[in-house]
Amino acid sequence: MDINFEGKRILVTGAGRGRQLCKVLAKSSPNVKVVALSQTQANLDSLKAEFPNVETVCADLGNWEETRKAVESVLPIDLLVNNAAIAVLQPVLETTPEAIDDCFNVNVKSMVNVSQVVAKNMKDRKIAGSIVNISSQASQAALKDHLVYCGTKGALDIMTKVMALELGPFNIRCNTVNPTVVLTDMGRLGWSDPAKAGPMLSKIPLGRFAEVDDVLGAIIFLLSDKSAMINGVTLPIDGGFLACFGQAFVKDLVEQGAIVYAISRTASKLDELKTKYPSIIPLLCDLTQWNEAEKILTENLPDDIELLVNNAGAASVETLDELTEDGVNQVLNINIKGTLLTTKIVAKKMIAGGKGGSIVNISSVGSDFPCTFLLAYSMTKAALNRLTKTLATQLGPHKIRVNSVNPTLVVDTTMGDFVFDTDEKKTMLKTITPLPNPTTEQDVSDSVLFLLSEKSKAITGQILFVDGGLHGG
């Protein structure tokens, strides 16, 4: 995936701990400018010596006015990573007011402070910006002796969603990444004891902690325009710890050099694809016919298959009163049974090959955002979300990742045009979506490619909404 930050100014707070991120960003494009903020001058001097083009600024993020002046001095900023954080480990009964103040000042208040200055400048300049807040799996899973730290990260997650809701109309996106234990030098030291690491690793389907590159890949993706319709999302980088559209996908995968097997039950669609992309291998197969489809896929899909996108889907446009058995069966057969069948066959081949793989299920914002005339469809997409998490847990030990992408209705597609067939309906969707631009097939495809790629190798069991912040709001 080609990501370019040419001409961008990127501010990274907590640059002492975020040193590797600063390095990667500094090397990403010839004319990118990284601004590193830290309270430790020695860390900044060391970074500057290695990368002279990095701009540095020293400030104590626990000091509101000092931080504000420091950030104002490096404007304009196009992209922001709020990386600074501290942790004070104390049992619940021994937690001190000093620990609460220190952690909330850096982990929460500084994020608000820095984001206010940067976002106001983005708004005034009328640019499309992106803010990525570094949270933690501790926002969603309790950790012993981490009362205050967990509290700050929980606050950070919900504040990010509010920011996404309020700043989206100005084309400023806000998301979080939530890593598990990351194997930095400090992380390796702290988790090198098998007695300590073992219980945690046993809860991670992929069977390992996150490497620094796992987290960097997610941050860079969310900063980039490849995630242009992702807003208000909390993205765990935890190996599945918290788990316990067609032609655009083909086009992008072919351009990436993949050998693509395209499955459809419509011969004319396969012929059209083959004409556009001669390298694909078309398979005519009706996934609603279990036995026949199982034979076709088992015999024709290669044993060394590594990636799967379950994109086949159907919708029955019926209210509760209009619901029919045929309509329900049609949607269940394609959206759930077809997905399970394909996954079963491909996962067996992945396991036998021993190399692992990545599976992406195309779900929908309808799984969480009910629509009265898509009752059966919404039901199957909610089921698909849960299946995704369950499959991630079961297949993780075999190095197979399973995630879902959940778009809102996509413009210029058959389904999008069918549901939003009037200007009034299109205006209604725009008024409830924080980001001003409609979701496109390319937005969805970019997210799918990210989850298929090694850039997301520590992400599994996750539901990634591509909806301009509709879900977060």
What residues are annotated to the active site? 149, 153
Q: Which helix (H) or strand (E) covers residue 310, if one does?
A: strand 307-310
Compute the residue count for the chain.
Answer: 473
Give the count of beta carbons closer than 10 Å to the beta carbon of residue 276: 12
Query: Residue 79 forms beta bridges with which residues?
Result: 10, 130
* DSSP 8-state assignment for residue 438: P
Give the count of beta carbons closer than 10 Å to the beta carbon of residue 345: 19
CB 372 within 8 A of CB 319: yes
Helix, strand, coil: what percent of the chain each, to 5? Answer: 50, 15, 35
- 3-state SS, one letter per residue, for 224-269: CHHHCCCCCCEEEECCCHHHCCHHHHHHHHHHCCCCCEEEECCHHH
Query: Residue 37 forms beta bridges with which residues?
Result: 57
Token pair recorded at residue 222: 């969310």
Q: Which helix (H) or strand (E) covers residue 204, if one does?
A: none
- Asked if the bond preceding 52 is cis, omega within 30° of 0, the reply is no
Alpha carbon distances (Å) from 367 to 161, 218, 380, 392:
19, 24, 8, 18
Task: State the Cα–Cα distance between residues 23 and 26, nearest whole angstrom.
Answer: 5
CB 17 within 8 A of CB 83: yes
